[in-house]
Chain A
């Protein structure tokens, strides 16, 4: 008994109280130098990747981001330094066993073309010696998780799937043995922009549920901003330019390199960071179908609105008519406006702004669960939020700069508070 206690049983997933199933990763002075090259591909790199977070490695080509990623599962052996995964020294472990506990997802899914979807997902469970029924059950669960009908897709071959579907299977395969850590190498690089966005949203919702530690390489700053809890921006030779939250990197780049890399339009990018639910919704005059028109008109005038939102019996928005349109009948009729633009409260400000630009009201209706009406967002609300966010981020970074020793602490604070 004492043996099993003193020797922790590798890094199999255990769920902590806050739902985090990942483990943290610590890189200490990790270097990689290829023989015959004068400059190191990765200079001594210290990095703490907190459990349950998505950390994005980004930078120009040759910055060592992929090398760094592959050193974590030892596809590339570091020249020096230590990598601790869940408190264990990765280099002291058998590399094959180590890799079976680290999900690996690469561009295009990289599915084995001669194996079916089910067999592809079942590779790592097979290596771990799971029996057939357990593996089959897991395969079906994962296909459900990534939004593919198991009965339809389980026995298909990769070439019978679209690029997006292949990538979904790739993610499912990475999750197969429920590893605490998942490494992704440009996971959504090979699909079209629309599919990519959908896959990113799916990954985020999966991560909401599983809370793995995900390390992801990308060259797309928008993807980094959208997915990352933290972004590590590297320049040539694995030199850390900035390691911070997307908000801070966008609002307060540490130096010119970061500012250049983030590029123009960082405010626009920030719009994709904020959910509609995070800003205060404006109220607006509403009317129920069948209500007498006069009462509604009086209410609207009192509130200073020149249009009203018509809701059905389950409070779902049906239309957004101007007051003059209402005067035609004595009671409110169902406008049945198919083109009515609404956004979910989980949508980004970017989506909301997009709807506003094409709508004559200069605002957009926000809906919540089961499409129920929640409020409206207008231009003013968005701009106010952006100004406030920029000021806050700048203040945070200034505080961290003036007190460098406290930087590490502030970085860790959200997690410790959560635990």
Chain B
């Protein structure tokens, strides 16, 4: 495996970067979508249950199948990869955002309104900051999961480390095939751990000391 890595360090680094970049961008996009959906959902109590059900069912769709289904619609390359990763990434964040926003003490929201805050301001200054630790926990779950799903997106020729895994598995028994698959797998794990560490730092930096656990 060392030999395999030594042969192409530049390419490996580039693919790692691509992998991380795909996941991080997808998760950022997913966070925006999920939080926006959650804000709508909690205003309409009946939708909250629906949202939870969808996020539970959505996660059971095999990612391999979803990617395959996207090919006739969007073709191959980074676009279907981004869409698939983003789709899965939305689900845990949505669920946590709904729970987090619902968990905000109603009396706090009421006193915010009572002090003359507009609904948008109550959301931005009270509800989201208070729900943020829970949302962030959802983002961490999403991020971890997305690294795995992004690897599978190599099937539609998406960017990243999945290429090593697929090429390794497709000529198993051939020279360096195991090394290739292992490099891809371990690489994904390492980047995922690094990014998770960064998220922990982000959580510390963005959560008010008053509600830090």
Contact = CB atoms under 8 A, between A and B. Distances in A.
Contacts of A98: 116
Contacts of A115: 208, 210
Nearest to A107: B107
Interface in B102-140: 105, 107-108, 110-118, 121, 126, 129-130
B107 A114 contact: no
Contacts of B111: 104, 106, 110
Nearest to A75: B114
Given A73-B114, A96-B116, A158 B107 contact: no
Contact of A127 (B110, B116, B208, B210): B116
Given A114-B129, A127-B117, A75 B208 contact: no
A89 interface: no
A104 B209 contact: no
Given A96-B116, A98-B116, A127-B117, A113 B130 contact: yes
Interface in A73-123: 73, 75, 95-100, 102, 104, 106-108, 110, 112-116, 123
A99 B113 contact: yes
A123 B115 contact: yes
A99 B126 contact: no
B195 to A, nearest CB: 26
Interface in B150-196: none
Contacts of B211: 113-114, 159
B110 to A, nearest CB: 6
A124 B108 contact: no
Contacts of A116: 210
Contacts of B115: 99-100, 104, 123-124, 127, 173
Interface residues of B, number: 20
B106 to A, nearest CB: 10
Nearest to A173: B115
A116 B117 CA distance: 18
Nearest to A159: B210
Given A106-B107, A107-B107, A114 B114 contact: no
A102 B116 CA distance: 9
A108 B106 CA distance: 13
Central interface residue in B117, B130, B210, B211, by most chain A CB within 10 Å: B210
B210 A97 contact: no
Contact of B117 (A96, A106, A113): A96
Contacts of B110: 75, 106, 110
A153 interface: no
Given A157-B210, A159-B210, A114 B113 contact: no
A158 B115 CA distance: 18
A116 B208 CA distance: 9
B210 A110 contact: no
A96 B114 contact: no
A114 B210 contact: yes
Contacts of B121: 127
B22 to A, nearest CB: 33
B116 A97 contact: yes
Interface in B62-116: 105, 107-108, 110-116
Contacts of B117: 96, 123, 127
Contact of A104 (B114, B129, B208, B210): B114
Nearest to B132: A114
A310 B87 CA distance: 86
29 contacts: A75-B110, A75-B113, A75-B114, A95-B116, A98-B116, A99-B114, A99-B116, A104-B115, A106-B107, A106-B114, A108-B107, A110-B105, A110-B108, A110-B111, A112-B108, A112-B112, A112-B130, A114-B208, A114-B210, A114-B211, A123-B112, A123-B115, A123-B117, A124-B115, A127-B117, A157-B210, A158-B210, A159-B211, A183-B114
Q: Give the 7 A-B residue pairs with the shortest CB-CB distance, closest first.
A: A157-B210, A114-B208, A100-B116, A99-B116, A104-B114, A110-B111, A96-B116
Interface of A: 73, 75, 95-100, 102, 104, 106-108, 110, 112-116, 123-124, 127, 157-159, 173, 183
Interface of B: 105, 107-108, 110-118, 121, 126, 129-130, 208-211
